[in-house]
Amino acid sequence: MDTALLESTANFLVGPGRGILAADESNGTMTKRLESVGVESSPETRREYRASLFAMPTISKAISGVILYDETIRQNAVDGTSIPDYLHARNIMPGIKVDTGAKPLAGHDGETVTEGLDGLRERCAEYFEMGARFAKWRAVIRISDTMPSEACISTNAHALARYAAICQEQGLVPIIEPEVLMEGDHDAVRCYAVTADVLAATWDECKVQGVHLPGALLKPNMVLPGKGHSTRSDVETCARMTVDLLHSHVPHEIPGIVFLSGGQTEVEATAHLNMMNNMGPHPFQLSYSYGRALQATTLKTWAKNRDDVSVAHKVFAHRCEMAHLARSGSWSANLEV
C-alpha cells in the first residue's frame, strides 16, 4: 500500500476552502433528476449537463474533487479531452463511485446491504489507470422503531471496510459513506445514537481489515431529526450535536469529514457546515461532498438555458462560493440571494 500517495490525496481533497462535488448519480437517479426538469435522459444529455458543470470558470476555487459515475469517467469534457484528464488539468481530482447499489438485505424487510465487492480490485485498477485517485461506497441505514437491525449495521460495516482496504491497495482513497437516512419520524437524539453505533461498527471492521485511516475520508450524515418528526433542529443544535458525535466517534487520524447533504436544502447544508466550522478547531477538516446541495438550483437553471451555459454557471458559482465560505465559517445568510 502506497500510504504516502493515499495521505497526500486525502489531504488534497480536504485542502483549505475546498471540498468535493458528488456528481456520481447512477443512470437511474440521473434520469429522474433530468426528467424532473423536462430534459430527456440519455448518455449525451447526461454528458452535456455534467461537462458543463465541470467547465464552470471558477470551479477550482471550491472544488478539489468530483465523484464520477462509470459512464461519466469514460466521457469527454467540453474541449474534447477525457473528463478525468480535464479535471486533473483544472487541479481537481477525479473520483469514482464503485459500489453497485443498495440491495435488499435477506431476512430484513426494508433494509439494504450495499454490493459491489466482486471484481472490485480489477475495477479499481482500471479506474486508477484512467486517472481516478479516490472512490466512494455508500451504505444506507434506515431508522424506524425496529431498524436498523444488527445485521444491517454489521454487514454494511464489513462491506465498507473491505471496499476501503481494496481501494487503498490499488492507490485510491476510499470515501467511507455510511448514510443514516433522514426518512422517518425519529428525533435527533435517535439519529445521533444510530449514527454512533454505525460509526463504531465501521471503525471496528476497518481495524480488522487493516484500513489505513490517514489515507481515508469519512462521508457521514449530519445529526438531524427525521423528516417526519414534529420539530426541526435549529442550526446551532444540529451543528453542536454533529460536532460532538464526530469528536467522540471518529478516530482522529482521519484527515477529513466530507458531509453528504442527504435531502437538506442548499442553504441548510451550507449553514450547518458553516456553524460547525465556527465551533472549531477540530481534529479533522470539516468539508463537503454534496450532490443535491451543490446542484439542485443549477440543474433547474441549466435545463431552462441549455443554449447559454453562462446562466447556470452563475448559479453554480454562487453555490460553490457559499460552500467555500462555509469551510472557514465565513458564510452568512445575507450572502444568499
Is 219 annotated in the active site?
A: yes
Q: Which is nearer to ligand 13P, 171 or 291 (CB)?
A: 291
Q: Which is nearer to ligand 13P, 171 or 262 (CB)?
A: 262
**In the 8-state DSSP scheme, what is residue 82?**
B
**How far apart are CB 2 and ligand 13P at their closest, in Å?**
26
- Under the binding rule (CB under 6 A), the answer on residue 290 touching ligand 13P is yes
Select from 183-191, 260-268, 270-278, 308-316 the region that touches ligand 13P (CB under 6 A). Answer: 260-268
Q: Which is nearer to ligand 13P, 269 or 312 (CB)?
A: 269
Quote the Cα angle for 6-7-11, to 5°: 120
The H or E element that residue 60 is part of is helix 59-62
User: What residues between 26 and 45 interact with ligand 13P by CB under 6 A?
Assistant: none
Give the residue, chosen from 13, 22, 83, 218, that forms a contact with ligand 13P under the rule CB under 6 A: 22
Instruction: Judge contact between 243 and 312, C-beta under 8 A.
Output: no
- Under the binding rule (CB under 6 A), the answer on residue 160 touching ligand 13P is no
- Closest by CA to 294, choosing from 326, 332, 256, is 326
Select from 73-81, 164-172, 291-299, 310-318 the region that touches ligand 13P (CB under 6 A). Answer: 291-299
Is 115 annotated in the active site?
A: no
The Cα-based distances of 330 to 180, 186, 221, 258 in angstroms read 28, 32, 22, 18
Place of cell 439519529: 191
Select from 5-13, 49-57, 255-263, 278-286 the region that touches ligand 13P (CB under 6 A). Answer: 255-263
Q: Per the structure block, which three cell numbers stand in for 99?
A: 459500489
C-alpha span between 92 and 152 (Å, rounded): 35
- Under the binding rule (CB under 6 A), the answer on residue 69 touching ligand 13P is no
3 state SS of 241: helix
Give the residue, chosen from 261, 270, 287, 298, that forms a contact with ligand 13P under the rule CB under 6 A: 261
- Under the binding rule (CB under 6 A), the answer on residue 138 touching ligand 13P is yes
Give the residue, chosen from 260, 312, 315, 323, that forms a contact with ligand 13P under the rule CB under 6 A: 260
The Cα-based distances of 21 to 32, 153, 193, 261, 323 in angstroms read 19, 27, 28, 11, 10
Please identify which of the residues 111, 177, 179, 205 carries the catalytic annotation: 177
**How far apart are CB 302 and ligand 13P at their closest, in Å?**
16
Give the residue, chosen from 13, 120, 157, 293, that forms a contact with ligand 13P under the rule CB under 6 A: 293
Kind of pairing between the strands at 63-68 and 134-141: unpaired
Kindly tell me the sign of the dihedral angle through the C-alpha atoms of 235, 237, 238, 244.
positive
Residue 307: Cβ within 10 Å count = 6
Select from 145-153, 286-294, 303-311, 316-324 the region that touches ligand 13P (CB under 6 A). Answer: 286-294
The catalytic site residues sit at: 177, 219
Task: List contacts with ligand 13P (CB under 6 A).
Answer: 22, 138, 177, 260-262, 290-293
